[in-house]
Amino acid sequence: MSKCSLVLFLIVLLVSCTEKPKYLDSNIDIEERVDDLLGRMTLEEKIEQLGGTGFDTKVNERFNIPLLKMTDGPVGVRWGQATALPAAVALASTWDRELIYEVGQLLGRETSAKGRNILLGPCVNIHRFPVGGRNFESFGEDPYLAGQIAVPYIKGVQSQKVIACVKHYACNNQEWNRSSVNAVVDERTLHEIYLPAFKTAVQEGNVWSVMTSYNKVNGFWTSENNHLLNNILKKEWGFKGFVVSDWGASHSTVGSVNAGLDLEMPYGTYMNDSLISLEMKKNTIVEETINDKLRRLLRIRFQAEMSNRESKPDEGILKSDEHKKIAYQAALNGMVLLKNEGNILPIEKDKIKSIAAIGPNAAFPRIGGGGSSKVQPFYAVSPLQALQNKLGNSVKINYALGTIIKGDIQIIENKYFTPRPDKNGLKAEYFNNIDLSGKPLFQRTDKEVNFLWYYDAPRWDLHGANDDNLFSVRWTGSINPPVSGKYKFQVMHNDGVRLKLNKKIIIDKWNDHRKSRIDETEIYLNSSEEYEVVLEYYNNAGVSEIKLGWEIPNQNLLDEAVSLAKNSDIAVVFAGLSDHFEGEGRDRDFLILENQDRLIKAVQKINPNTIVVMISGTPPIMESWADDVLAILQAWFGGQEGGNAIADILLGNANPSGKLPCSFYKEQADSPGFDDYRNENLISNYTEGIYVGYRYLDKYNITPRFAFGHGLSYSKFIYKSPVLKKTGDHKYELKFTLSNVSEKDGFEVAQIYLSPVKHSIERPLKELKAFEKIFLESMESKEIVIYFDEKDFSYYNVNNSAWEIDKGKYNILIGSSSDDIRQTVSLNTLED
């Protein structure tokens, strides 16, 4: 070789050795980068990426593959303290795509600020029946509405290069025995009711990940359901992202791997090197199946522009005024004014001197339901606090608890603990073990003991705490009884608890319980004395609950409330539920409010100017009092700003604009979901088929208390001049005019339903096909334009496993709710 040739060879060799691999070059097509990296990995390295390590995936040091770092949840980042948004059902009640996009952006920014890159949301499971434990966490009973709320949510999250994860795929419509129940659903019902929101999330939202549910669908666990994962999701819908299991929802190796599950969480119990390699030797799993999973996992990493660069929490983002404003706007726009007889709302504060604020949800902010969507905010505002802040001394506010939510306890309020120079409350010492041993990992002051933690306790303060939620707490302080007499001390807890008063143990249950329980004891206290109190508690894995309460001697909560109502100009009862009743892992046992119903009726009887504010995640039965009270505001779980939003609507500082995403039934029997509920054979037959929610009520001519899409405003809107024009094959343009004929600016949600008049197959009486939320100034009019195409006239034909146009006659219904149709136009597709 000549000297010149040798030099040239060395130069080429040097360049080839220093040339950047394709997978590291962001200028190269993503698919090329994926193939390049995949080709460099060993089979063992590929397989280790298919199982998690708690909330992360496994490290690959050789290629420095970015970790997938996950966090709950759908309405706020559960990785320390963060902005607490309203419950998802309230977000759906906004019917506001633009606002939901801002919500998604907020969630994406805060996920990044926490150093995470996957947000486990949104949840789009359909409200099949009203006691569903996670109904508050999803977008209602209508598949079209759920999909339309999911898309801007997903796009907002992913605009921040954070991976959204739509869940729970599919038919996770109850929490009772969710890990065992088999949902038996026909194909038409699947495609028309329970899958459309997921399809929309994939095809319109371009969601990057999908989470399987715990339950079976038609005999197969969803994490190993080939029909759902491979045939429908990946092949029919063209999903390019990855499928992740819910935590502990996998059941086998071969079934999960071959059916289309790509990532098993929290650990690779079944999808690990030893088990998969063993099956590959048997040829029950082939390497190309593993490669497909890695392509999906790597593709999304590249699409999200991920790197291993650590992202540090940005407190400026988490506590920003912009995020507070979005949280407030979401709460405000999601609240639904159900009734306003005699225009008692808004309250004319210059015409009254006093308001009675009554009820178990008045003084405590009920920010959300329990479970993986529960958020720890930096602050939260109760309705009582918000009213006091906004009214000042101009109107006297009289407060009474009135009653306790059944199954809960009366929390010992902060005012009964001895004030200290710095702050009120109890000194709290948190330990990262279950026996209070060693030095506390941190200390703080807790205003009261009222906690229901899931897998965020005490992660947000115990840095480096294990994922199993093993911890203990000791609260110490002094308590001042308001009156002398026998007090009933109550502790609601799971696992171990000890309560001491003046160093004497009065409750001692220092052992594992797993399930929440209430222990109580009576003891005489003198109002002139101060008592030293010590509460010790440990949690031995999983969900943790600890609450300290009492019953004050001779206290009649109902009589106190009635007395206040009698001596106030207006009575506002803040009723509803709490995260103790609505949360992951359990369904509600009943729909009535029992003692709260009695409270509302007693208050209304003594004060005809009674308003009810319902704070809950799902609708209760209101039949015993709804006709008698003058106004009802469905406030949902409103997040950290819920109290401010409620106060502003009551006082007229804001105009309500929310619409119901689910029907409010008059009685439990009006919902068909109960027919096969809690079946001892663990089979849930979806015998109602496509008739869910308002579709079922229409079919059987059942009148709801409040209909799907219902929601009042302080403004008045009229619909006029509808015109329908054909624009192509099975394509139409609908125009109509919407006018605000009142003196108050406001939003209206115009809803468009399609009603088959002549059809070739059984169809619902009407189905939501379009909606627009429009802001109109006083006396303003706008022309609204809606477009239809063939998908709007189609049904799922099970005979050919495809969507097919039903060429019949249709009425297009234009209205303010599903039972408030203002204009109708007709068309006949047989003429096409």
Residue 221 burial class via C-beta count within 10 angstroms: exposed 0-12, middle 13-18, buried 19 and up: buried
Q: Are strands 485-493 and 544-551 parallel, antiparallel or unpaired?
A: antiparallel
Taking the C-alpha atoms of residue 517 and residue 318, their distance in angstroms, rounded to an integer, is 35
Give, for 803, the enclosing helix (H) or strand (E): strand 802-805
Residue with tokens 């597709």: 829
Phi-psi region of 495 (alpha: psi -120 to 50; beta: other; left: phi over 0): left
User: By C-alpha distance, which of 786, 771, 778, 782 is closest to 719?
Assistant: 782
Give, for 97, the enclosing helix (H) or strand (E): helix 97-113
Residue with tokens 């009820």: 359
Contact, 161 vs 173, CB < 8 A?
Answer: no
HEC per residue, 140-200: CCCHHHHHHHHHHHHHHHHCCCCEEEEEEECCCCCCCCCCCCEEECCHHHHHHHHCHHHHH
Residue 811 burial class via C-beta count within 10 angstroms: exposed 0-12, middle 13-18, buried 19 and up: middle
Query: Looking at 246, 408, 456, 698, which residue is catalytic?
Result: 246
Cα 336 to its chain centre, rounded Å, is: 17
**Structure token pair of residue 125:** 């499971």
For the chain, the 3-state helix, strand and coil shares in percent, each to the nearest 5, are 30, 30, 45
- Is residue 246 annotated as a catalytic residue, yes or no? yes
User: By C-alpha distance, which of 579, 267, 229, 595 is closest to 405?
Assistant: 595
Q: C-alpha angle with apex 295: 289 to 297, nearest 5 degrees?
A: 105
Sheet containing 485-493: order of strands = 450-453, 544-551, 485-493, 517-525
CA distances from 408 to 27, 314, 426, 520, 550 (A): 58, 37, 21, 13, 11
User: By C-alpha distance, which of 401, 310, 309, 314 is closest to 363?
Assistant: 401
Give, for 129, the enclosing helix (H) or strand (E): none
Residue with tokens 């921040």: 160
Taking the C-alpha atoms of residue 296 and residue 317, their distance in angstroms, rounded to an integer, is 31
Taking the C-alpha atoms of residue 808 and residue 812, their distance in angstroms, rounded to an integer, is 13
CA distances from 491 to 311, 430, 518, 551 (A): 40, 18, 6, 11
SS3 (DSSP) at 70: strand
Q: Which residues make Cβ contacts (< 8 Å) with residue 474, sequence separation at least 6? A: 428, 429, 431, 436, 440, 534, 535, 536, 537
Taking the C-alpha atoms of residue 167 and residue 249, their distance in angstroms, rounded to an integer, is 13
> Where do the H-state alpha helices sit in 512-609?
557-566, 595-606
User: By C-alpha distance, which of 615, 612, 616 is closest to 628?
Assistant: 612
**Structure token pair of residue 379:** 């602050």
**Structure token pair of residue 156:** 């907002």
CA distances from 473 to 394, 457, 461, 540, 583 (A): 43, 11, 12, 12, 24
Residue 821 burial class via C-beta count within 10 angstroms: exposed 0-12, middle 13-18, buried 19 and up: middle
| DSSP-assigned letters across all residues of 430-468 | EESSSS--SS-SEEEEESS-EEEESTTTTTTTSTT--TT
**Structure token pair of residue 360:** 């178990």
**Structure token pair of residue 453:** 């933690």
Q: Which residues are catalytic?
A: 246
